Amino acid sequence: MYFPVVVQMSISGKWPDDVNACKRLVAAFYVEISKAFKEKRHKTQVTPEFLVVFRDGFIFRIFLAYSKQIGILKQRVGESGLRQYRDTNESIAIEKKFINLPKLTGALYGLSQQYSAFAPTCVLAKRWISSQLLHETHFPSVVIELLVAHMFLSSQPVEVTMHPLPMFLRFLKTISTTNWNLEPVIVNFNDTLDRNSIADMEKFFSSNRETLPPMVLATPFDPSGVLWTKKSPTIPVLVRLAKLATVSLKILENTLGDNDASSKVMAIFRPPMSVFHLVIRLAPEIATRRHQKLDFQGIVSTKVTSGSYNIPVYNFDPVELYLKDLEAHYSDKAIFFYDQYGGSEIGVLLKPQFLAEVPFKVSSFEGRKLLTEATELKMKPDIDALIEGFKIMGSGIV
C-alpha cells in the first residue's frame, strides 16, 4: 500500500489553458521535486501522474492538483461560439479525488481528534463489512466512515461513549433498522449546516428521491448527498447487510457477558459460505494481505532494511486484479464477494436472469448450453464451462 499526498497548487494566470500542456507542466514539476528528494538521499520514481517517494520504509504518492484543470476539462465551445461548462467523467473524478476527498479527510481527522472512539469504531465497522465479503466495490470505505461520523455527530437521544464497542453496536443497529429510502443521512461536520440548510437538503431528497441512489449521504461539502454513493451500495447489498447486522447484533447482545465471549463474538466475522452458488478457493501464498486475516498464525516482519535498496513492489494484489477481471468479464452472469482483509475465498452468486432457461438464440450462447431433454429448443446455464473459465482466468491464483 501507499500513502497518498495531495499538494494543492496556487492559482496563477501563468497556467496554460490547454489540458495536455498543463499535464506536461505538472510532469516537469514532478521531475524537479524528485531531484530535491534525491538530494536528501530518498528514493523516488517519477511518473506523468504522480511522484513516488520511499522514506523510512513507507511509500508515498505525491499528487499535484490545481483547480484550473477542472474548469478546463468542463469547458466546451457551443455552436454559437459561446463557452459552456459541463461536468465530464474526467472532471468529476479529478474534483472528487483532489478537492472533495481532501476536504472530507480533514473533517474526519478532526472528528477523530475530538472523539477517541471514532477511529476504532471505523476499524470495527470496516472489518465487519469486509468479513461479510463486501469489498470496496460493494460498500466503499468512505461511506462507512461517513455513517460512523453521523452516529458521533447525531448522538441524540443516546450520548456518545468513549469506547468503540458500544458505538459498533450502534452502527449495527443503524444498518439493521434504517430505511434508506425514506430518509437521508446528513453528516453535519462542525455544525456547519444550520436548520435552513438541513431543511433544504431534506426537501431536495424528498422531491428527487426517484432519481437519487439507494443511500444518500449529505455533507457540507456535498449537499446533494450522491457524491460517494452514486454507484454503490446497491439495494440488494443494503438488504443483505441489514439481515446480517440483525443477526450479528443479536449474537453480540447474547454473548458479551459470557466467559467465552471472545470465541463466540468472532462468529460475526465469519460469514456462511453455503449461501453462494459457487466458491472460488484461492492459493494461500497468493493473498498479499493474508497477515490481516483473523486466523493468521504466521510471523510478520517489521524490519526496515537500511543502506542501499530500491523501491519495493507495492500496491500489487493478484487477488484484487483477479477479482476485477472476474467482474469485468462475468458481471452479466454473477456477483463476486471477497474479504479484502486477507480473505481466502471468493463467493459467487449467479444472477437469476443467467440461471433462467431461455429460448434458443445465437446471442444467448455465451455461458449456456442446449437443454437436450426439453421438447423445444432451449438453453440453460453451463455451470461447468463457467467454472472452467474461472480456473483459466485465475491460473496460478486458484
Report how many domains make up the chain.
3
Inside any domain, residue 320: yes
264 and 294 share one domain:
no
251 and 284 share one domain:
no
Strand partners, 345: 281
Inside any domain, residue 98: no
Residue 265: band (very low, low, confident or very high) from pLDDT cuts 50, 70, 90: confident
Q: pTM value?
A: 0.87
183 and 35 share one domain:
no
| pLDDT of the residue at 342 | 87
The CATH number assigned to the domain holding 166 equals 1.10.1410.10
| pLDDT of the residue at 379 | 86
129 and 245 share one domain:
yes
247 and 328 share one domain:
no
**Sequence-separated (6 or more) residues with CB below 8 Å from residue 34:** 44, 45, 46, 51
Inside any domain, residue 337: yes
363 and 215 share one domain:
no
Inside any domain, residue 315: yes
- pLDDT (tens digit, 9 = 90+) per residue, 132-191? 999 999 999 999 999 999 999 986 656 777 889 999 999 999 999 999 999 899 999 998
Distance CA 11, CA 17 (A): 13
In the three-class reduction of DSSP (H, G, I as helix; E, B as strand; rest coil), residue 177 is classed as: helix
Average pLDDT in the chain: 88
Quote the domain boundaries for residue 351: 274-393
Cβ-based burial of 101 (10 A; exposed 0-12, middle 13-18, buried ≥19): middle
Question: Which range (228-237, 355-364, 387-396) has the least confidence?
Answer: 355-364
**Sequence-separated (6 or more) residues with CB below 8 Å from residue 348:** 276, 277, 278, 279, 280, 334, 335, 336, 337, 390
213 and 241 share one domain:
yes
Q: Looking at residues 354-373, what average pLDDT do you find? A: 81
* CB 343 within 8 Å of CB 287: yes
Q: Nearest-CA neighbor of 213 among 193, 202, 224, 229? A: 229
> What is the Cα 300 distance to its own chain's centre?
26
Last residue of a domain, one of 223, 248, 271: 271
Residue 303: band (very low, low, confident or very high) from pLDDT cuts 50, 70, 90: low
| pLDDT of the residue at 13 | 76
259 and 318 share one domain:
no
- pLDDT (tens digit, 9 = 90+) per residue, 385-395? 999 999 999 99
